[in-house]
Structure 1
Amino acid sequence: MKRPTRECAPPNSHRHPIMTSLYGFVKRLYLAFNPPAPEAPTESPLRFGILGAAGIAPAALIYPVKNHPDAVVKAVAARDQGRADAFAKKHGIPKAYSGPGAYQKLLNDPEIDVVYNPLPNGLHYEWTMKALAAGKHVLLEKPSANTAEETRKMFAFAQEKRLVLLEAFHYRFHPATRRLKEIVDSGEIGTLTKIEASLAIPSGFVKDGDIRMVYDLGGGVMMDMGCYTLSMSRYLSGAEPTKVISAKADTLPKFPQIDIGCTATLAFPAVGGSTGLAEGLTASLDVHFRLPPGFGFVPQWPKVYARVTGTRGSAEFVGPWIYHQITVESSEEEGGPLRKRTEQRYGNLGWTTYRYQLEALIDKLRGRDPEHWFDAQDSIANMEWIEAIYKETGLGSRPPSTAEVPQATGT
């Protein structure tokens, strides 16, 4: 892996901090969609296949792969022939499988080593199990499945088959996220008392026909944006919740089982020590597909942040796909004057969260130790608490898959 490279700035940019910031953002955005080819590609790269011509696939895998010396996308599968062909042509993918058996055709392809599964949530379990049965490693979009039991079975099967299965919480691999965790764990902001995490967007982005509004496919905002806020809260606390204190879902008459908005408060265990968890530590989650306009017509600004409060200050995080900022306010002692600063940790020039995720995955597949990783239990626990939140809202868990799939011998 390349050493982190400082981002370039225009001449005399130190005199113009706003212009420097804007220049850096534009450059990162450009490189995210136009990544430079690797300097020394390997002769036998890992070969990826994509299940479904999903809109997230280019940013999540195709563009990062173009920048990695040891990876290539060899095939895509979509049930619609025209869609499969158009997607393959647009992104320079050699093979396009289509028709009713398209997904299985891709899994049967001996030239595919790793499968990326960005299918609707309700299809994650079926096609991940089938990919593992075909001997393929899997990069699985979040949330891992509709239920924790399905997640448990997938990871058990992957372990039995000696294959790598990774849930694609890409934010976790970025150096900025790990820097935030480092600040929290250092004790600089004192004993943790509150965590707040929000991902909410204004009306107009998630339409009625969106798959995220389909109950049978695992729809709902807690499954989509909510899984990130829950994962972040668990990661920053360094502990698992003890209970769901409260949870409330916003629904619509035509989508009675779908949470378009959800708020939840979770309790965490108390741990002694200046850098531990305070008695009564809580995490508040706030997610929404359709934030209502202010005054009936003014669109709300998206809410995308995590904030950790301690007895000696706070740390707030915005980002980090191609932009982020960490804002820290802390004092040397409880009740003392607060000092404020901001930090940024981009690392390698032009690398998005997805590029860092790909680096870790390939390191793992090649037998190297990734800079960051999380295990099966992390993914299982996240689904357990998503289900607990849904239970508290009264909506209940998303429906389990009824597909016939292979099983691990121990399950």
Structure 2
Amino acid sequence: MASLVQRLYRVFVPPHQPPKVTNQPIKFGILGAANIAPAALIIPAKSHAEVIVYAVAARDQVKAEKFAKQHGIGKVYGGSNGYQQLLDDPEVDAIYNPLPNGLHFEWTMKALLAGKHVLCEKPMADTAEEVKQMFDLAEKKGLVLLEAFHYRFHPSIQRAKAILDSGELGKIKSIDLKFALAAGFMKDSDIRFNFALGGGAMMDLGCYSLNCIRYLSSSDPVSVVSATPLSLKSANITETKIDRGMSATLALPNDVLASMDVDLAMPWEFFPPKLYKMWVEVKCEGGNVGVQNFVLPTFWHSIQVSNKASGGTTTQRVEKVYKFADDQSKVLDLGEDWWLTYRYQLEAFVDKLKGRTPQTWVTREDSIANMQWIENIYEKAGIGSRPRSSYVLPAE
């Protein structure tokens, strides 16, 4: 309990690291005064000596100014041209794009055209073709583009994958994942329920879930066996293509089946009360691996390993991994137990910009494949992909 309290304190009050005088810091600009920005960038930046959150832009000038004052950001751009003014600022090195899904493509492309590196929230776009175009432009411009699957940078999920990859439990037989939030957390007006902005449970919780299945299995699906959307039953919502939840079964190579259930408005369970579900279980020939809270492991998590011994007995163990440690396995000494997944992600992103080798990375191919299989699930579900952006890249 003491370590938990200390960890949570450091999450929200990290030790401030002043910029290194011998190293030019990366100056970030934030597109939109989004609720996720403090956890995803502003708080992690406080403990990174090579990062400055330099500017923020919002369409509402008052909102932009309030956000900047609250978080100690020196430069503010507001109004209808605020986003572009931020991109045109020569002091800005990198852009964090936490805008609604449907705006990721347009403003990431504009940021790349302005010569800025981009850390783009997931899912990166509404279609796989858009994601491909984004990476094509980044590579053409010699810029870094990363899809912010922050959980992938934390040692806990990497440890779970290492157990599976080690062969300790034999071949994978099946994967089961559930990720759901209790009803009431999101209002009907939430952008996650807006089709035009790339909304839907499969786009939100589902992009994590699909990515986790692909990551732990080290494979892409070969087909979507089934996909059943849950509609949002509300008097205020008439959009039939919005999925409040999605249940899907995927066929993976070597006859492995993976099931996933995601829900943005899970019915309440009172005994015991459950505000969310966030777990994945991988069943193997010689045992199982279960990971609780794989998306936000800094707050708490557990890696439960069940190993069927040759004598017929089963051994159980629970692992918790909050930082990379220089131990017997010679794992890289990196991080602190209070580092958010976003802090590990920021470390990797800055390493890439500085020409260093990141501890891990989410590749172009990974991001394109994840979006393609999201589209495939939507097609199987009968409600189709989210609408492509109307933005057209200017002719050279």
Would you call these one fold, judging by a TM-score over 0.5?
yes
- In the alignment, is the contact (CA less than 8 A) between 2:298 and 2:337 conserved in 1? no
1:270-281 equivalences in 2 (<5 Å): 270=254, 280-281=255-256
1:382-393 equivalences in 2 (<5 Å): 382-393=370-381
1:330-349 equivalences in 2 (<5 Å): 330-333=307-310, 336-347=312-323, 348-349=336-337
CA distance in 2, matches of 1:252, 1:90: 35
Partner of 2:360: 372
Q: Which amino acid aligns with 1:337?
A: T
Task: Determine helix, strand or coil for the equivalent of 2:67.
Answer: helix
Partner of 2:186: 206
Identity fraction in percent:
52
CA distance in 2, matches of 1:28, 1:39: 21
| Cα distance, 1:40–1:133 mapped onto 2, change above 3 Å | closer
Partner of 1:79: 59
Alpha-carbon distance, 1:322 to partner: 2.8
Alpha-carbon distance, 1:30 to partner: 1.5
Gaps of 5+ in 1: 1-21, 271-279
1:171 maps onto 2:139 in alignment: no
Partner of 1:312: 286
CA RMSD of aligned residues (A): 1.6
Task: Determine helix, strand or coil for the equivalent of 2:203.
Answer: helix
Task: Determine helix, strand or coil for the equivalent of 1:398.
Answer: coil
Q: Which amino acid aligns with 1:324?
A: H
CA distance in 2, matches of 1:406, 1:229: 35
- In the alignment, is the contact (CA less than 8 A) between 1:145 and 1:151 conserved in 2? yes
CA distance in 1, matches of 2:394, 2:301: 42
- In the alignment, is the contact (CA less than 8 A) between 1:194 and 1:282 conserved in 2? yes
Gaps of 5+ in 2: 324-335
| Structure 2 residue corresponding to 1:285, chosen from 260, 280, 283 | 260
CA distance in 2, matches of 1:354, 1:51: 17
| Structure 2 residue corresponding to 1:125, chosen from 100, 105, 116 | 105
- In the alignment, is the contact (CA less than 8 A) between 1:129 and 1:406 conserved in 2? no
Alpha-carbon distance, 1:300 to partner: 4.0
CA distance in 2, matches of 1:248, 1:221: 12
1:325 maps onto 2:299 in alignment: no
- In the alignment, is the contact (CA less than 8 A) between 2:175 and 2:258 conserved in 1? yes
CA distance in 2, matches of 1:299, 1:401: 40
Per-residue CA shift, 1:293-352, capped at 9, x if unaligned? 358x9864411011111011101112314322111011233x822100111111113211
Q: Which amino acid aligns with 1:336?
A: G
1:133-172 equivalences in 2 (<5 Å): 133-172=113-152
Q: Which moved more, 1:366-375 or 1:216-225?
A: 366-375
- In the alignment, is the contact (CA less than 8 A) between 2:149 and 2:362 conserved in 1? no
- TM-score w.r.t. the length of structure 2 is 0.92
Task: Determine helix, strand or coil for the equivalent of 2:204.
Answer: helix
Alpha-carbon distance, 1:374 to partner: 2.2
Q: Which amino acid aligns with 1:313?
A: G
- TM-score w.r.t. the length of structure 1 is 0.89
- In the alignment, is the contact (CA less than 8 A) between 2:268 and 2:275 conserved in 1? no
- In the alignment, is the contact (CA less than 8 A) between 1:260 and 1:289 conserved in 2? yes
| Cα distance, 1:39–1:324 mapped onto 2, change above 3 Å | farther
| Structure 2 residue corresponding to 1:268, chosen from 247, 252, 256 | 252
